[in-house]
Structure 1
């Protein structure tokens, strides 16, 4: 994770330098600052700073290198518990479809939001409560 933080710091510095080059170039070529590109490149540098800071803080909080980051580590050195996943669950697919309907409403018509919102509610309730009934009930 330390390598990722270093790469994002390098990327942020690169974007800030290119932002300065872009401003100078636009002043020479056009005679004024072109704000859309200047802000876009500057915000890309700010995003690099945010990600580098987060990665650095996460690396410091975990107490050093993870087993996944060491080249000499074995597969079983990492933490085997990654969470609980339902490989047979259809609810995430319905949730993705209903969120797609909500975004489709931006292009087609706002009335589709009501259908997508109802399907989002059904999919979330179904996904949360899928282990309380049926073959996989607790």
Structure 2
């Protein structure tokens, strides 16, 4: 958790410095609030990671005496080839086409196709009794 914690502390400190500089240079309230809340979000996540990192054993990445072998293992199963990401992309294009053409029925058709495409992608390796 140490690398992740430091990344978010950096985000917090960066926005803590940039927000007042932005206010002084632009006197624009909306951007100042957005930058400030982005910094608060980074601080909140960094604080959460700092608190939760104390409650469990460190990962091999967090220990200086760790060996590379300790972090090895199964990463997961990845599909060698699949047509479902293509159909999900087509679905998103059809859904976005509806507002672009001011035709709601096109988006509705896209949503219906999207249910089919997402179901296919989710269940592409389901054959019978949870086979892969």
TM-score normalised by structure 1 residue count: 0.69
Secondary structure of 1:131 counterpart? coil
> What residue in structure 2 maps to residue 96 of structure 1?
89
1:40 aligns with 2:17: no
Distance 1:101 1:36, change over 3 A: same
Distance change in 2, residues 1:61/1:101 (3 Å): farther
Alignment of 1:9-88 (within 5 A): 9-26=9-26, 33-57=27-51, 59-64=53-58, 66-69=59-62, 73-74=67-68, 76-88=69-81
Query: 2-side partners of 1:59 and 1:90: how far apart?
Result: 40
- Aligned to 1:82, the other structure's residue is in SS state coil
**C-alpha deviation, 1:86, in angstroms:** 1.7
Matches within 5 A, 1:115-130: 115-130=109-124
Per the alignment, do residues 130 and 77 of structure 1 end up closer, same or farther by CA in structure 2, a change over 3 Å counting? same
- CA pair 7-129 structure 1, distance change in 2 beyond 3 A: closer
* Structure 2 residues without counterparts, runs of 5 or longer: none
